[in-house]
Amino acid sequence: LSVALSGTVLSRCPACARNFANLHCNNICSPDQSLFTNVTRIVNRTTAQGTPQLAVIEYQCFYGQDFAD
């Protein structure tokens, strides 16, 4: 998912675009992901270099009310 693409889609509402980007970045980059993320679906895949690895394709996030507000 590209944050820039979502920004284009949400450009009519700058606050919505900022909130979406903040949520996306928190989901992807937070060092505390294990505190609010539950992985619910993974698949086996092979990298371009031929290395097998697991890939997360579905997860649930749980946020506190303060973060949601």
Work out the pLDDT band at 53, boundaries 50, 70, 90: very high
Rg (CA), the chain: 15
Work out the pLDDT band at 6, boundaries 50, 70, 90: low
Amino acid at 32: D
pLDDT at 5: 66
pLDDT at 26 over 90: no
Per-domain boundaries in the chain: 3-67
Mean pLDDT of 3-13: 72
Instruction: Show Cβ contacts of residue 13 under 8 Å, excluding neighbours closer than 6 positions.
Output: none
